[in-house]
């Protein structure tokens, strides 16, 4: 059975288009289309001005794993596996200078089941997937599609790089346009840091959602639905909404108007 992107344990991860490439509308549109095709849900997207302090925090501090944490876990190498595997699988995150994040970046907040691991693979395939894709392009339709997607992405990067004087770090290497936290814990903290009002915790599973409805909502819903059947109003949905507002015991306090 195929599981949807919002089934199971769903997490949110921010994906950054670095300032040198964030002004390219064509590149942003291309990335957005690829994200949709990969099954990601874009919760929010916007331009965000990052200063040097915030860039340093995002790129270095949030992903840092202290040595005492590794030792206290009893399995020093396991504690750092997420970070090590991420750096190996994500060339865009290797040797990344926080100074490249200073400026007007574009941020996608993405949601998916096991979002961090999936996004690591997505960026790795987008940046370096040409070799494996082109190798099987003759007998594999999916390989051909990945190869053409890589070529389009590479061409957009090169065009944007020429206009912004941004070049690849190595000869023949693609310029670095995308960045994400190399640890899932760092990505979770990044969401909380940039969007403090957004829920950064894991989205509840179906069982947890049903438990919440059973424990919290039924106490208000059942009496209101019973009265709805008895009253039979002309606009039942509006009547039910107003009734729930009146009888909700957990209604937040209203801010008094200035006239009062």
- Full set of structural domains in the chain with CATH: 10-194 (3.30.70.141), 206-247 (no CATH)
CA distance 123 to 35: 10
pLDDT value of residue 131: 41
pLDDT at 72: 58
Read off the pLDDT of residues 81-136 as tens digits, 9 standing for 90 and up: 444 444 444 444 445 788 889 999 999 999 998 899 999 999 988 876 544 444 44
- What is the pLDDT, as a whole number, of residue 149? 67
Q: Which residues contact 183 (CB under 8 A, 6 or more apart)?
A: 62, 63, 65, 82, 83, 86, 116
Quick: pLDDT tens for 248-260: 665 555 445 444 4
Nearest to 112, CA basis, from 32, 259, 9: 9
β-bridge pairing 178-179 and 41-50? unpaired
Sheet holding 10-17, edge to edge: 41-50, 103-113, 10-17, 178-179
At residue 170, the pLDDT reads: 47
The DSSP element (H or E) to which 109 belongs, if any, is strand 103-113
Beta carbons of 116 and 187 less than 8 angstroms apart: yes
Closest CA to 5 of 38, 29, 30: 38
Query: Among residues 217, 219, 239, 238, which one has the least CA distance to residue 230?
Result: 239
Q: What is the pLDDT of residue 76?
A: 45
Residues listed for the chain: 260
Predicted local distance difference test score (pLDDT) of residue 120: 92
Rounded CA separation 194/50 (Å): 10
C-alpha–C-alpha distance, residues 206 and 212, integer Å: 10
Low-confidence ranges of the chain (pLDDT < 70): 1-8, 66-95, 128-149, 162-173, 199-209, 212-213, 216, 248-260
The pLDDT of residue 204 is 59
| Pair of tokens at residue 38 | 């990969």
């Amino acid at each position: 059975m195929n599981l949807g992107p919002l089934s199971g344990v769903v997490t949110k991860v921010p994906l950054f288009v670095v300032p040198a490439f964030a002004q390219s509308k064509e590149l942003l549109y291309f990335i957005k289309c690829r994200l949709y095709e990969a099954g990601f849900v874009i919760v929010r997207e916007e331009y965000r001005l990052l200063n040097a302090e915030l860039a340093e925090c995002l790129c270095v501090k949030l992903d840092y794993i202290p040595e005492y944490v590794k030792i206290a876990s009893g399995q020093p190498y396991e504690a750092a596996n997420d970070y090590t595997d991420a750096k190996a699988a994500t060339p865009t995150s290797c040797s990344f200078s926080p100074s490249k994040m200073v400026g007007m970046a574009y941020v996608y907040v993405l949601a998916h089941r096991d979002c961090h691991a999936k996004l690591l693979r997505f960026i790795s395939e987008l940046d370096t997937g040409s070799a494996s894709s082109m190798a099987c392009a003759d007998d594999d339709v999916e390989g051909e599609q990945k190869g053409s997607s890589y070529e389009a992405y590479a061409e957009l990067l090169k065009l944007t790089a020429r206009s912004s004087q941004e070049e690849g770090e190595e000869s023949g290497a693609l310029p670095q346009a995308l960045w994400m936290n190399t640890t899932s814990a760092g990505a979770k903290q990044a969401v909380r840091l940039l969007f403090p009002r957004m829920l950064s915790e894991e989205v509840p599973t179906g069982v947890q959602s049903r438990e919440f409805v059973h424990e919290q909502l039924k106490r208000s819903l059942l009496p209101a639905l019973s009265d709805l059947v008895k009253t039979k109003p002309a606009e039942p949905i509006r009547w039910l909404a107003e009734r729930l507002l009146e009888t909700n015991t957990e209604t937040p306090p209203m801010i008094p108007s200035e006239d009062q």
